[in-house]
Chain A
């Protein structure tokens, strides 16, 4: 993805990169702020992170301790979002659930980002054979649609938080790899990279000093969008009963338990679902906004 190079670029590749970078980021920031949707997204994501960090301290009740006598209470003064089928406070469970969710998201995205970026760099810069082989591996991973890949991992390894992270993460690796590869393929042809090569800089140096930093933009966009994907995958798994196990208040698990009470106590299902939707929306808006600001000509 080619940011434009100011005409004032010097012939020194490093300086050219640095100058371009400074103007580039300022420009981006301006564009981000201009895109209102992205701002809304950022606000939502910010709120979510805040909740995940401090929410548990603010939670009025212990999310794991419920009193059966208080089960399925509608939202009210004592319990702002009501209680669930075992008498636990839903608000507290959602607050704690935010932390579990963000842990899964950060872990899975970091995993996928690290592996995917490495693979993308190798594929883009490593020559035809590396490209061919690596992208075929990515094709194989992508051959399993949607949640099937995650299900395969769970089937083999079992349920639980760690396995959910792996299952959700592996699904993202091809996305990161493709994006980074595409970026590298374009950057590779650019003057400052050619110049660096001509000057005799080593391959690893070129990758780390020029290709990687200039690929950050699409990586960041993908990160935001994939945080949304991880949330949907993880909560989907928990909803099926194959993700994080009770009594952990993961949002998908909250919805799963609430199914039996859809008619008699719909409030148990409304809030967790709304929470998931809002956070996914936030990451999507932010990701889209970042993408639009970082390159308006980008269509994919």
Chain B
């Protein structure tokens, strides 16, 4: 187990390094004077000179990257052109919100997905199974932003049950979390169903049944537990999917998350914000995946010898 973790951590280093190179490279691709890209067009000559000095813009690229990395590790992600605040502060304000939203969405998708999947698996080839399957297919196919708009139209405007945007209370998170979770729940439902079916067919399940264990016992104790293993990996993937989907959800519902920060940063040509947010999001995602993989390995020893 330890060796597995050690190996994964070792592999993490090049990936994180690569992520920082990618984030650094992002700004290099933008046309124009790099100093203006970082400081904005309103910046005066002395501010530009200062920026050039601070970020080593007159030095070769590799050195610029080292400076960038060193700053990032110290928590300095630059200054936002639009708000003149440190990018790290802006991200610290907005990222937790998105994480909360993604987490809630996973809860929703887990609840919906696992239940639907179990129902479909235990009632194989029945109407319920078909309905669950169809529902999950539609769920995967529906564009999040469309689902969000429709949900807002129905629940906020027509029924007035939930707020249409903004933040503050838990109620503001309900609609976005459900919309975000709905698509993931489809994936989880299918995974759960397939996984359950597989396990239900296995020898040890048949043995349990032969031993006279009550059917429900079979389902919940044996089948579900073993079926959860592959589902766990899906959670890791879905977290990433939710982070991505959060961008669209936050835009539809006007939420103060990091997704909308990035989108508005692009519209405002606020490159330091975009760059910083990308780095933070990617790093977080990589770490979450690592944790999920370790959890997976802890549950299923076969994986450790990959």
Contacts and interface: CB of A to CB of B under 8 A. Distances in A.
Interface string B230-247: 100000000111011101
Given A137-B18, A139-B15, A156-B30, A144 B141 contact: no
A259 interface: yes
Interface in B193-243: 194, 198, 230, 239-241, 243
Given A145-B243, A236-B143, A269-B149, A136 B18 contact: yes
A116 to B, nearest CB: 17
Given A240-B248, A277-B143, A143 B286 contact: yes
Nearest to A280: B141
B61 to A, nearest CB: 15
Contact of B153 (A151, A263, A277, A281): A263
B285 interface: yes
Given A241-B267, A277-B143, A284-B137, A266 B153 contact: yes
A148 B247 contact: yes
A208 B111 CA distance: 46
A145 B157 contact: no
B295 interface: no
Interface residues of B, number: 50
Q: Which of B21, B26, B247 has the most CB of A within 10 A?
A: B247
Given A154-B266, A155-B26, A146 B245 contact: yes
Given A143-B15, A255-B146, A284 B247 contact: no
A151 B263 contact: yes
B149 A259 contact: yes
A139 B293 CA distance: 14
Contacts of B30: 155-156
A156 B34 CA distance: 12
A239 interface: yes
Contact of A157 (B14, B29, B230): B29
Interface class of chain A by DSSP: helix
Nearest to B191: A299
Contact of B15 (A136, A147, A154, A156): A136
B68 interface: no
Contacts of B137: 37, 281, 284-285
B199 to A, nearest CB: 12
A299 B241 CA distance: 20
Interface in A262-290: 262-263, 266, 269, 273, 276-278, 280-281, 284-285
B306 to A, nearest CB: 12
Given A239-B248, A263-B153, A144 B278 contact: yes
A277 B244 contact: no
Interface of B: 11, 14-15, 18-19, 21-22, 26-27, 29-30, 137-138, 140-146, 149-150, 152-153, 157, 194, 198, 230, 239-241, 243-245, 247-248, 251, 262-263, 265-267, 271, 274, 278, 281-283, 285-286
Interface of A: 37, 136-137, 139-140, 143-148, 151-152, 154-157, 228, 232, 235-236, 239-242, 252, 255, 259, 262-263, 266, 269, 273, 276-278, 280-281, 284-285, 299
